[in-house]
A and B are shown apart, each in its own frame.
Chain A
């Protein structure tokens, strides 16, 4: 302890003295040095990961991040500060009492994306990437899905059979993915949330059953699936009702021993998972922690102590 303190004090004081000695000289930042170092000493020993294609460019439309359209604001820097503080559509200005054309079209464009998300379908490629097979609820078609939430809670007979055939029974953790109200939420986030969740399960030493995809699912379809597979815990990754800031937001509903007749307060939820919201990789990692706690406490929802 003593020695360590000595050492630390020395370090701090040395740093201070160095600074005093510089007396106003600009300290060259680490960036400048790092750049030089980078050139002088290329790759020592450790091979870089093979350069693959650039990081994926996301196909989602550019988000409506504000640029101020006010021609002569009273305080320009202040306006920038306001815009930076909220995703709301402010600083948009007006013509008479109506919005400018650009602002109006932006709104319509984002609404179009939201409607597309409701009526769209999850890309098969994404499902294949994680070897998810597809089952369906009794929703029948999108219009009926919207009007009859009860039908999105029950799987078709064919689907029940398929699940019984292909899935491991009574797994510790069952992962289910569903389009819900936004197919594009699955397209946009699954490839970040799901592997991060799998890593987390690995860290906690939890075993996972056979994941699959439910088309036309509602949250309470968890109950039906719970009856079929009897997992200890189930997590449903499902597309949320799209908003205009993003149409690609996902929720994770988690439940300890799901079965028919579960009420809302027995489920634990992490919502707003998307690029600008709850970070998908961080959400995936945290879901693992929650599932581990559910298993430990044998509870979920309001009874779970996080």
Chain B
């Protein structure tokens, strides 16, 4: 494995794969905080150059976090199709990048090859891609999943309506839900982040959302994003949950900080299989985001892009209905400004799709980052062009419970209108029946939440 190169007259010798991977990343404050970032642009390019020439076998044979020490690594390893891997193991990362971007590689070819790739290999290609490369590659891959309804089709931009309330008032949640529905938002999921992590509270919210879905015959799915154990308790008590949610990290230690492990996820998976009320076959909702492993000191000196890819390696095991990266929630110590957030959003979406995941994105920021709503407009359009499965809809982008800004109901309507995208087919039919949408356009009554009262 060659770990040395010369750039613009200067020779760089890298210690190991971790260093190459970290320094090949585009600039991120999180890698700086971890003390693993390239010191300047020249070193960054040197690392990219070395990475480009590594073979896929080099990456697999020199594990950054060995499977013996980490169960996420084991899940990733166990998921590899050895036959496909053997066909390509001698490819360099550069060759893999070019194959993915080539006209020869269509959706099915990429999906096939993906089964022979580890998360680290996918992360490696992302490091060699420009923003437009990430968009071009991801746009080729459609991932259609089905819970109560199907999303992910060509030409479809779905959305999660996120009607959070600062004290979990069921009435307050309902108010934002009505507003969202009236803009045609909510085809991916009606998903609420609760303040109160108790089975009672989760049950109340699930029951309310289910009542609304039943009353108006809305073809979608509901979910309350409490800790997985709380949701399991609520489901065992008979709460109607179409999807089960959990945040993932890219290492066993990181997951431990979230209070989960593979065994618990398996148990939840089993519960949904046996007691879930939705049609399936997909009933998981995962969230991820660059930097979470560093924040729980569970990154093992590995860069945040690679750790993020490993989350997708874990997610893949459970055939989720939806996955999204909460790209800008974590704060400026991981993603400092709009450049970094936009980059991370495109990387995560690409890496998720390369794992065969139904990838969405919470295009978002907190108020202590150097980001504003214009940057969200940009990233939203870029991801919509890249074929993102869904984005998050919050009333005027302002989440009054999580205290951050995402994309608004208006924004999603605009992404759809500008790029000619549609809601999920079943949901669009429903919107037409209710009279909110006609031929893919909002009607004059759209935007009035009282039509649901």
Contact = CB atoms under 8 A, between A and B. Distances in A.
- Chain A in direct contact with chain B (Cβ < 8 angstroms): yes
A93 interface: yes
Interface stretch (A9-17, A142-150, A196-204, A288-296): A142-150
Contacts of B65: none
A82 B450 contact: yes
Contacts of A244: 367, 398, 400, 403, 405
B171 interface: yes
A86 B398 contact: no
Looking at chain A's contact residues, the main secondary structure is loop
Given A82-B178, A86-B176, A87-B400, A149 B333 contact: yes
Interface in A76-94: 76, 78-79, 81-83, 85-94
A74 B369 CA distance: 40
Given A242-B367, A247-B367, A85 B410 contact: no
B450 A89 contact: no
A195 interface: no
Contacts of A249: 403
B453 A89 contact: no
Given A78-B453, A97-B442, A111 B367 contact: yes
Contacts of A74: 445, 448, 450-451, 453
A181 interface: yes
Given A74-B450, A88-B172, A91-B179, A97 B417 contact: yes
Contact of B166 (A87, A110, A150, A242): A87
Looking at chain B's contact residues, the main secondary structure is mixed
A241 B171 CA distance: 27
A118 B172 contact: no
A285 interface: no
Contacts of B451: 74
Nearest to A97: B413
Interface residues of B, number: 51
B175 A85 contact: yes
Interface residues of A, number: 50
B413 A85 contact: no
A5 to B, nearest CB: 38
Contacts of A272: 166
Interface string A89-104: 1111110111100010
Contacts of A103: 396
B448 A73 contact: yes
**Which of A76, A87, A241, A249 lies at the interface centre, i.e. has the most chain B CB atoms within 10 A of its CB?**
A87
23 contacts: A74-B450, A79-B450, A82-B179, A83-B175, A85-B171, A87-B166, A88-B176, A88-B394, A90-B395, A97-B413, A98-B414, A107-B397, A147-B29, A147-B33, A147-B333, A148-B33, A181-B368, A240-B403, A243-B399, A243-B400, A245-B166, A272-B166, A277-B166
Interface of A: 70, 72-76, 78-79, 81-83, 85-94, 96-99, 103, 107-108, 110-111, 114-115, 117-118, 146-150, 181, 240-245, 247, 249, 272, 277
